[in-house]
Amino acid sequence: MPGEYYHIYNRTILSIPEFKEKNNCNRLLQAFLLANSTKSGQAFEYLRNNKPTSDVGFALLLTNALEIARSGEKLVDVLCYAIMPDHYHLLIREVREKGATEFIRKSNISIAKYVNKTKERRGTIFEGLFKSKHIDSNDYLRHLSLYIHLNPLDFIAGKEWREHKLENFNDYKNKLLNYPWSSLGFFLSGAPNDIISGHEIITDQFKNRDDYEFYLKSWTNDFTETDLFLE
């Protein structure tokens, strides 16, 4: 429903770690950018019909495709995200009717085509279209941004973070910030990120970036796993 917020979650078939590969992560991020538009069909078609050459590289073609996508209207706002080896999380706000479904469908098709081409296989790479949970409170919204941004701790520090407070958040902060497949860098350092929009409903609740970082550090104070986890 337009104006409503959702937690989107998608896992690969048999939990195959498709996104341990850098190129697959890059292509999924590109898919998020291209798919989030009423003109995404034209943008993807442009890439299909124009192949890189010695004179025109893929970067230029992608730039042109993104310009086509930006000329359309957004389907969703992506407030934050994290790509894990075998799944991804998104916190979105639906902008257009059925925009979330269309956005995820196009993103999934795009990345599946890329992965299948590189691995010479066929079929979907995800268990289903996606899982979605409606966000019905501001507390849930705030906590979900925390959960998504801390998700990479699963392999940085181990899954114990889900049950116990980290003894020293600073030991893991740089690794989290340097993790390139998450929007945390945008929230804590202002790193440019064209995927993100509509984030102000979260960031405006904190005095500054340091305040949001403190929120991450103190996550156990009122964190309820059963309210957030879709796995």
Calculate what percentage of the chain has a pLDDT beyond 70. 89
More confident residue, 222 or 54: 54
Task: Name the DSSP class of 162.
Answer: G
| Residue 2 neighbours by CB distance under 10 Å | 12
Per-residue model confidence as pLDDT tens digits over 55-74: 668 889 999 999 999 999 99
Calculate what percentage of the chain has a pLDDT beyond 90. 69
Q: What is the CATH number of the domain that holds 112?
A: 3.30.70.1290
Q: Are residues 116 and 216 in the same domain?
A: no
Q: Are residues 87 and 154 in the same domain?
A: no
Laid out side by side, the sheet with 5-11 consists of 76-84, 87-94, 5-11, 131-135
Q: Are residues 122 and 149 in the same domain?
A: no
Alpha-carbon span 127 to 13, nearest angstrom: 5
- Residue 154's nearest CA partner among 224, 83, 222 is 83
Single out the residue in 68, 100, 131 at which a domain terminates. Answer: 131
Q: Cα angle at 126 between 122 and 130, to 5 degrees? A: 140
Per-residue model confidence as pLDDT tens digits over 163-221: 666 677 778 888 888 999 999 999 998 989 999 999 999 999 999 999 998 888 877 44
Per-residue model confidence as pLDDT tens digits over 109-127: 999 999 999 988 888 899 9
Q: Are residues 10 and 94 in the same domain?
A: yes
Q: Are residues 204 and 144 in the same domain?
A: yes
Q: Are residues 167 and 114 in the same domain?
A: no
pTM: 0.90
pLDDT on residue 225: 47
Domain residue limits at 47: 5-131
* Main-chain dihedrals φ then ψ at residue 8, nearest 5 degrees: -105, 135
Alpha-carbon span 74 to 94, nearest angstrom: 9
Q: Are residues 158 and 142 in the same domain?
A: yes
